[in-house]
């Protein structure tokens, strides 16, 4: 089978059997995207687990407490997955204004990003996101949507709308 036919077959197989990209870590390309954004916005840093003030919730997510499937790589302020259903992995990170400790901003980058100065597809800025996390993929029902909210709550759903998103309750 020549390369063109093999590539077409692989694409059709992937479309028929979509893979769920769901992670709470970033790929090297996604890390580069976030680093480039931070380079363009020096007053911000990526939020850390400690900024959440939710150690017990993080441990529960990693251990799978209450019959839930464990998510060993869970970090409340990072998510990766195909948020908009186009087959490419997207990423979401929460950053903090370094001059204001409770000024958090959610950034969503649609993949693939191949620019030295990435522009977020969605920005949810200037909120206190302490004790809040990002959630995506199993065990939630399909179609998977990126959620942001306090632990043990319904939170807000990011619904894809063209090249951006809309928050819905």
Q: With respect to residue 4, please indicate whether it lies within any of the assigned structural domains.
A: no
Closest CA to 75 of 104, 49, 106: 49
Does the predicted model carry a pTM greater than 0.75?
A: yes
Q: Can you give the residue range of the structural domain that contains 42?
A: 26-168
Is 43 part of any domain? Answer: yes
Does 14 reside within a domain? no
Distances (CA, A) of 111 to 8, 27, 96, 115, 152: 21, 11, 22, 11, 29
Number of structural domains in the chain? 1
In a domain, 105, yes or no: yes
Residue at 3 is within a domain:
no
DSSP for 109-158, written as a single string: EPSP---SS---SEEEEEE--TTEEEE-STTSPSSP-EEEEETTS--EEE
Write the Ramachandran bin of 15: left for phi over 0, alpha for psi from -120 to 50, otherwise beta: alpha
Q: Helices (H), strands (E): how many in the chain?
A: 4, 10
Per-residue pLDDT of the chain (169 residues; tens, 9 = 90+): 443 333 333 333 333 333 445 788 899 999 999 999 999 999 999 999 999 999 999 999 999 988 888 999 999 999 999 999 999 999 999 999 999 989 999 999 999 887 889 999 999 999 999 999 999 987 778 889 999 999 988 899 999 999 999 999 8
């Amino acid at each position: 089978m020549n390369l063109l036919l093999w590539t077409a077959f692989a694409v059709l197989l992937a479309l028929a059997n979509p893979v769920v990209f769901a992670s709470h870590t970033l790929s090297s390309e996604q890390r580069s995207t976030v680093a480039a954004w931070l380079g363009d916005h020096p007053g911000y840093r990526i939020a850390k687990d400690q900024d959440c003030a939710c150690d017990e919730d993080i441990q529960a997510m990693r251990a799978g407490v209450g019959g839930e499937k464990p998510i060993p790589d869970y970090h409340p302020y990072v998510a990766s997955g195909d948020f908009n259903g186009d087959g490419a992995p997207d990423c979401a990170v929460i950053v903090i204004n370094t001059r204001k400790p409770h000024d958090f901003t959610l950034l969503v980058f649609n993949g693939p990003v191949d620019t030295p100065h990435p522009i977020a597809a969605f920005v949810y800025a200037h909120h206190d996101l302490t004790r809040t996390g990002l959630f995506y993929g199993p065990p939630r029902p399909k179609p998977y949507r990126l959620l942001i909210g306090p632990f043990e709550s319904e939170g807000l759903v990011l619904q894809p709308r063209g090249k951006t998103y809309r928050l819905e309750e």
